[in-house]
Amino acid sequence: PTENAKLSKIRIIRSTAEGEKVIWVDLKEYLETGQAELIPILRPGDTVIVSGSTYYAFTKAVNWLSQIAVMLSVYVAISNISN
């Protein structure tokens, strides 16, 4: 896993006859304890979702905003040169 993965809240989406079932897995606890029963057996069709941490989401947002600020600065500079 990457350093930005939120290992304590991994979701496994499993299709059953009754519909979709969400299985929560705490991989962080497994890595700390080594208890194999914390990890369910994956089945064909399972979807594993590992979200990013809050810090990762925040840094992505800040990076996006800084890129927008650079583009706006370039636009203003070009506008000032044109006038």
Local confidence band at 25 (pLDDT 50, 70, 90 cut-offs): very high
Look up the pTM and report it: 0.61
DSSP code per residue over 25-47: E-HHHHHHH--GGGSPPP-TT-E
Tokens of 39: 């990890």
| Spatial contact of 47 and 13, defined as CB atoms under 8 Å apart | yes
Note the pLDDT tens digit of each residue in 27-62: 999 999 999 999 999 999 999 999 877 777 788 889
